[in-house]
């Protein structure tokens, strides 16, 4: 999966909705949820969490996995636990966060799933905060890309932690486990690997003058992961011309509203729409707007209800989310009856 961060436009996808184990990339959801709690004032970065025996045995030194080597019974600040989760991929750190916030990993996983649904992760299910193998836990490349985009957009003041070269805790110095940092402009986010699913990574880069978010997963070796990411990012950064198409607030099209006070709602981009066309091939452009009909009221301004699909030589090269420009309330009895008769006579035909 490769998308443009600013617009959310999908530049490339292959099996992007195939369910896979997230491995340590699940820690991105733990980090996002924790930072959201901090933003809302429910948690402080200086608050401390206790390293329980479960966190120590399951995610600490005895487990022989990625760990911050926190001592049993010690108290660690939320900020340090977040740094460890991001930089060291500390399993003990994420378990301590889960237990401190929700009381147990299971309860925290429930919060992760609720939070994921709220931010648009439609095909993910988390059962623990660290990504340790569990057959009931899954995500997709698309959801991981959307999760990364959420973190970059919502927590810009904390995002630099993802590019930190190392983190030292309790006298133990560990380098960032993301070995792709600095390559083709990559400044985050998270690697993950297990014996059953292979090697994956969620990356972001400003290579080529715009921020891209990419995900690859299921590679047999870490070197293959590196090679695949370099190819994906290099292609995305060098193969497109950016063409401003619609300014912020411009109505791009309309979607029909069945039984609404008015029959259509205008569609806009999140902050204007840029189209990325393959270099030296501007004559190939074709586009359409798609949405799930019938669209029922009430519709709220800002609801994501459609996509602008861009094609070049009959191959889709971009998909841009479109949002309702205005509120549409339910229509009166006469309006609803008219639409019902139309549907009975002709079926649902967007107009």
Active site residues: 24, 27, 89
CA geometry: angle 17, 18, 21, nearest 5 deg: 120
Which of 351, 324, 309 is closest to 267 using CA atoms? 324
b/e code 15-39 from CB counts within 10 Å (16+ = b): ebeeebbbbbbbbbbbbbbbbbbbe
Q: Pseudo-torsion of CA 173, 161, 113, 21, nearest 10°?
A: -60
In this structure, what token pair is assigned to residue 221? 């070796």
DSSP 135: T
Question: Angle 105-118/91-102 helices, nearest 10 degrees?
Answer: 90
CA pair distance 323, 272, nearest whole angstrom: 11
Angle, helices 27-39 vs 105-118, to 10°: value is 80
How far apart, in whole angstroms, are the C-alpha atoms of residue 28 and residue 22? 10
- Give CA–CA dist 4/251, Å, rounded: 21
Spatial CB neighbours of 20, under 8 Å, sequence gap ≥ 6: 138, 139, 140, 141, 197, 200, 217, 218
Q: What angle do CA 291, 296, 301 make, to 5 degrees?
A: 75
Cis ω before 189 (30° cut-off from 0): yes
Closest CA to 55 of 80, 72, 38, 32: 72
């Amino acid at each position: 999966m490769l998308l443009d961060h600013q617009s959310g436009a999908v530049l490339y996808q292959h099996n992007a909705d195939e369910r896979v184990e997230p491995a340590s990339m699940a820690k991105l959801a733990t980090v996002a949820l924790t930072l959201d709690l901090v933003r809302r004032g429910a948690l402080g970065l200086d608050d401390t969490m206790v390293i329980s025996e479960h966190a120590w045995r399951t995610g600490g030194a005895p487990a022989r996995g990625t760990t911050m080597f926190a001592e049993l019974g010690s108290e660690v600040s939320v900020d340090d636990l977040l740094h460890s989760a991001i930089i060291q991929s500390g399993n003990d750190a994420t378990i301590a966060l889960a237990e401190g916030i929700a009381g147990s990993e299971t309860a925290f996983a429930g919060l992760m799933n609720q939070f994921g649904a709220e931010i648009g992760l439609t095909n993910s299910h988390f059962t623990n905060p660290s990504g340790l193998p569990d057959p009931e836990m899954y995500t997709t490349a698309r959801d991981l890309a959307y999760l990364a985009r959420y973190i970059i957009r919502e927590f810009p003041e904390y995002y630099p932690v993802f590019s930190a070269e190392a983190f030292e805790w309790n006298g133990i110095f560990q380098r960032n486990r993301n070995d792709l940092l600095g390559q083709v402009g990559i400044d985050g986010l998270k690697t993950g690997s297990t014996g059953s699913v292979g090697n994956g990574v969620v990356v972001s880069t400003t290579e080529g003058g715009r921020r891209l978010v990419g995900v690859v997963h299921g590679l047999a070796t870490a070197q293959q992961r590196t090679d695949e990411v370099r190819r994906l990012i290099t292609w995305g950064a060098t193969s497109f011309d950016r063409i401003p198409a619609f300014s912020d607030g411009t109505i791009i099209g309309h979607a029909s509203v069945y039984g609404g006070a008015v029959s259509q709602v205008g569609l806009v981009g999140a902050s204007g729409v840029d189209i990325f066309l393959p270099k030296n091939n501007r004559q190939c452009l074709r586009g359409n707007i798609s949405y799930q009909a019938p669209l029922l009221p009430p519709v709220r301004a800002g609801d994501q209800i459609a996509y602008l699909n861009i094609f070049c030589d009959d191959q889709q090269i971009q998909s841009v989310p479109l949002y309702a420009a205005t509120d549409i309330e339910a229509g009166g009895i006469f309006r609803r009856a008219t639409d019902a008769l139309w549907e009975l006579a002709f079926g649902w035909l967007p107009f």
